[in-house]
Structure 1
Amino acid sequence: MSLDSNENSRCGYVAIVGRPNVGKSTLLNKILGQKISITCRKPQTTRHQIMGVKTEEGVQTVYVDTPGLHLNKDKALNRFMNKAAASALDGVDVVVFIIDRTAWTEEEDYVLEKVKRSGIPTILAVNKVDWLEDKESLLPFLQEISAKHDFVEMIPLSAKTGRQVDVLQQKVEALLPESPYIYPEDQLTDRSSRFLSAEIVREKVMRLMGEEVPYQMTVMIERFKVIKGRIHIDATIYVEKQGQKLILIGNKGESIKQIGIDARRDMELLFDNQVVLKLWVKVKSGWSDDERALQSLGYLDQME
């Protein structure tokens, strides 16, 4: 089916929003059946908008994964992430507001305020219900939350296991307008291979390192080139302090070696090709609170 022959199809944009660490990226990956958005138990893993396209049976749903909306605006990077998340509400057809079980914090109120202001039909997705210790608390909680906003639906689900995710997709698709497809049927994301490679490296750093390093670290791909059938990727990991560089490299280079092994494995799965990955670690002091540094590292381009 070509892009021009979809007069009877449905198509639209769906923003996935919520505070940090509620499972937005896990949900997107589960819906797509492929990992394009990195995940980690540490909050604020996602820093950019990431688009994922699901096309099947006459419906094309363009999901937009967003950074977690949060109240901390101390650094330029935090302000960038909030702006990236809030801007995802512009021009979408549906919002999926995802929360973690029955937890409702000030940050949920902050997200809800933006959702209300948008006036866009919103589905509340109550994630991680398989981890809920007191299952009987769910119904009273949903009744309480229904008074806060006129949600189109409230769906308990598990993004990790896929429980009720199909129900969410059906409800989302029913809200999409009749429209031809926006993207080719085989397109999965709007992000480049270089961007996805950088995100994979950053995920492995976040998973392996302690609390400080992941939040003062970013990754740039210096080279992405196919040579004799193999993909050669050179990546630089930037940190803010010399001590962080030493931690990241590890004793006799063991930490950076493990990051490279884990990242290369995911890259080969994603690109279905053999990958030669080289990593470097450099210090760029204060980059996360310097708008010029953020610009040079590719953070502000999409916000112009």
Structure 2
Amino acid sequence: MADDLFGCFAYATQSGFRAFELSVGKEFWTTTKSRWLFGIDYGRTDPRALREIAERPNTEVKIFDGTFVVARPGFAPRRDFHAKVTMLLNSKTKVQGIVLGSGNFSNNGLRRSIEAGSSIIAKNKADIDQHIKSVRSVFDELWKSASPLDAVAASYEERLADLIGERDTARPTKAAASTKGFWIEAGYVTKNRGPDKPGNQIFAPNGFRKFFGLKKSKGSSTNIGAITFTTEVGPKVTKNYRENDNGMEKMTLPMPEEHGFGVYDGKVLVFKQDGKDFMLTAMELEDFELVYGHRILNVQKMSGGRRFGGLI
């Protein structure tokens, strides 16, 4: 088993971090030394994913050409960092491995999308020299010149938030026609189903129930109502919608792994009325912007920074 990992990816998302950790288990971080080289080209990488990885033990995170890219308009790189490669080493046996693929460090790239890849295990010096040494040497050199995460993280978070804010303020606050749906950023999803399963409960702002046509419960009951979800994968599911003791509302969602979502972490949840039910999709932020960016309405922000709004 490898005890040293060097992962290089063009971008990272919260869903990728959660999918990876669920797959390897939290003990991975204490038993494996890991280095991570990510790109932030065009602002595609979620800074929260970088922070999550960097907070784990035995890890070091760097950003390819980070000092330059973080200062560029729109985070445009001078040379795209498009790698998707992981190198592994067992320090006792000296066996090395390499995984080359097309998938990025996102749930889609790691689990859901149709990707292509190859893995090689080299058990002796001849195999290592032939199949791994040249690749590792290139990325070791890139690592040496890359920017430590701490050197660019704060600026990246601030400038990315400003960029997103500029887009949001340019969007309409009133619909010219009836709204077609609504959305909310899931953010970090608590592991309400245990440490080895993806969570399926998120907090919504007080009053979010109105999007579902629900009214505040009377009396001491915390149950507001029930929502029936339809999804592209799996049967209809009815879940409770409740008030929470922190002044927010708690939404229970379909089991993500049973409905083609993998995880909800870091994704944008989109709801569209389907008769009396609600059609649910969960998308990476970049995909959401591509599909719905021109239809986003009345963007609002929760105290923790997560956004929500309508769709026209």
Q: Please indicate, yes or no, whether the TM-score normalized by the shorter chain is above 0.5.
A: no
Q: TM (normalized to structure 1)?
A: 0.29
Q: Which has the larger radius of gyration?
A: 2
State the TM-score, normalized to the length of structure 2: 0.29
Greater helix content: 1
Greater strand content:
2
Greater relative contact order (CA < 8 Å, ≥ 6 in sequence): 1
